[in-house]
Amino acid sequence: MSNPVGIFLIVVGVIFDLLGCLGLIRLPDVYNRLQAATKSVTLGTCMILFGVFLEFGFTSGGIKALICIFFVLLTSPTAAHALSRGSHISGFKLWEGSKMDQLEEDKGE
Amino acid sequence: MMTFFFILLIIGAFMCLYRIMMGPTPPDRMVAIDILGILVVGVCALYAVQTGEGFYLYIAIAWSILSFVGTLALAKFLEGKSFDE
């Protein structure tokens, strides 16, 4: 715990993680929860890992943190896209206050 | 101060567990499982800082990849298709 910039990034990342999990509880349907939780939790975890990289510097631990940032940024949006597409195809309804559904319009054409 | 970060992340993990228990539809539970996996990566990274050993970051890398594979399998299961199409 030596680098103040690293500590600041870790603090902001933990707050982003907590707010994403709060969105997972509070929002009304699957797509809103996916929207809130996946983006902010991915950003928060990447900020924590970048803070870890700033703490370790260019040692073996810091390079491992950079590789982990790469994997999280690559895999998490792909998994969210697959989940939302799968649940839409499987027929789970949107919240009744939703304004538009572009995947349904594309299917109708 | 690190203990406070761990407590905040564990509160988030309990929110995910609440959604896994009470989720009205199957996709809710799957989203919560995905988020729980990413939170565990963050906890491993913080633990690596606290102990000063880079070893725990191996667990973080492996956990992120395994969580991705598991979520893709659940999404294909939800879509109602087999794995080779």
* Number of domains comprising chain B: 1
When scoring A32, A87, A89, A95 by the number of chain B Cβ atoms within 10 A, the one with the most, hence best to mutate, is A87
Is B85 inside a domain boundary? no
pLDDT 10s digits, B28-74:
898 899 999 999 999 999 999 888 888 899 999 999 999 999 989 88
Amino acid at A67: I
Query: Domain limits of chain A?
Result: 4-92
Task: Identify whether B67 is part of a domain.
Answer: yes
Q: Is residue B60 part of a domain?
A: yes
Task: Answer for the pair B46, B5: CB distance below 8 angstroms, yes or no.
Answer: yes
Residue A47: closest CA among A19, A107, A7: A7
The three-class DSSP label of residue B64 is: helix
Cβ-Cβ contacts under 8 Å between A and B: the total is 156
Q: Provide the pLDDT confidence category of residue B76 given band limits of 50, 70 and 90.
A: confident
User: Are B17 and B40 within 8 A, CB to CB?
Assistant: no
Given a cut of 80, whether residue B83 has pLDDT beyond it is no
Which candidate from B5, B15, B39 shows the least CB-CB separation from A25?
Answer: B15
Do the domain assignments include residue B63? yes
Distance CA B81, CA A42 (A): 28
* Position B84 in a domain: no
**Could you report the per-residue pLDDT of B16-26, keeping only the tens digit for each?**
999 999 878 88
Q: Is residue B68 part of a domain?
A: yes
- Residue B24, SS3 per DSSP: coil
- Percent of chain A whose pLDDT exceeds 90: 40
The residue in chain A having the minimum alpha-carbon distance to the alpha carbon of residue B28 is A30
Cα of B84 to nearest chain A Cα, Å? 15
Helices A30-56 & A60-89 angle (0-180, nearest 10): 170
pLDDT digits (tens, 9 = 90+) for A12-23: 999 999 999 998
Mean pLDDT in residue range A47-58: 91
Distances (CA, A) of B58 to B30, B37, B41, B62, B69: 25, 15, 10, 6, 17
Structure tokens given for A104: 């349904």
Q: What is the ipTM of this complex?
A: 0.87
Q: Which domain holds residue B68?
A: 2-79
In 3D space, the residue among B67, B52, B63 whose CA is nearest the CA of residue A78 turns out to be B67
